[in-house]
Amino acid sequence: MNDCLFCKIVAGIIPSHKIFENDRVFAFLDIGPVSPGHTLVITKAHAENLAANTVEDACALMVAIHDLALKITQAVGAQGYNLGMNHGVAAGQDVLHTHLHIMPRQEGVAREFKKTHPSQEELAKVAEMIRVQLNSAN
Ligand code: 5GP
Ligand code: ZN
């Protein structure tokens, strides 16, 4: 096991509020959400950034976004979402393992990119709401 934070999350060594996984992709709540439901979608295979991923994993990431983003948004009562990827330290990438941010947005609420610090209980509640929505939509 390498020393990568997100690899440890995929392996369950570091706990997370998981909302989805398949053979290539893993999705969990961001610990410092800029909005309720802020989700990170990552490739299970370690790659420092998208350019280093296989094309198959890059496609799997986008398929997961296609399947998840609107359902996550609806689960938290939002109407739209921002997608974000910081590619490279120069762009603000802190965790060097490919991840896409899904940031649900409510009409009339300022689109801040400031981190918030919800409790584990609050995050668990949001994750459960999202999982219920994903399961009911299947
Ligand atoms: P980046 O700046 O690399 O695009 O985003 C990394 C994200 O990972 C940040 O939004 C940060 O809040 C999130 N993050 C950092 N450490 C953890 C952690 O231990 N657990 C979870 N769930 N998210 C984390
Ligand atoms: Zn990794």
Number of domains in the chain: 1
Nearest CA to ligand 1 atom 16: 31
Q: Which helix (H) or strand (E) holds 8?
A: helix 5-11
What's 112's domain CATH number? Answer: 3.30.428.10
Please give the pLDDT value at position 2. Answer: 82
CA separation for the pair 105, 40 (Å, rounded): 15
Provide the whole-model pTM: 0.97
Query: Which of ligand 1's atoms lies nearest the C-alpha of 92?
Result: 2
Catalytic residue among 17, 38, 97, 99: 99
* 57-95 residue pLDDT tens: 999 999 999 999 999 999 999 999 999 999 999 999 999
99 labelled catalytic: yes
Q: Do residues 106 and 35 make contact, with C-beta atoms less than 8 angstroms apart?
A: yes
Domain that holds residue 15: 5-136
Taking the centre of ligand 2 as the mean of its atom positions, its distance from the CA of residue 49, in whole angstroms, is 10
* 14-44 residue pLDDT tens: 999 999 999 999 999 999 999 999 999 999 9
Q: Where are the alpha helices (DSSP H) in 33-138?
A: 55-75, 120-137
Closest CA to 86 of 75, 74, 70, 97: 97
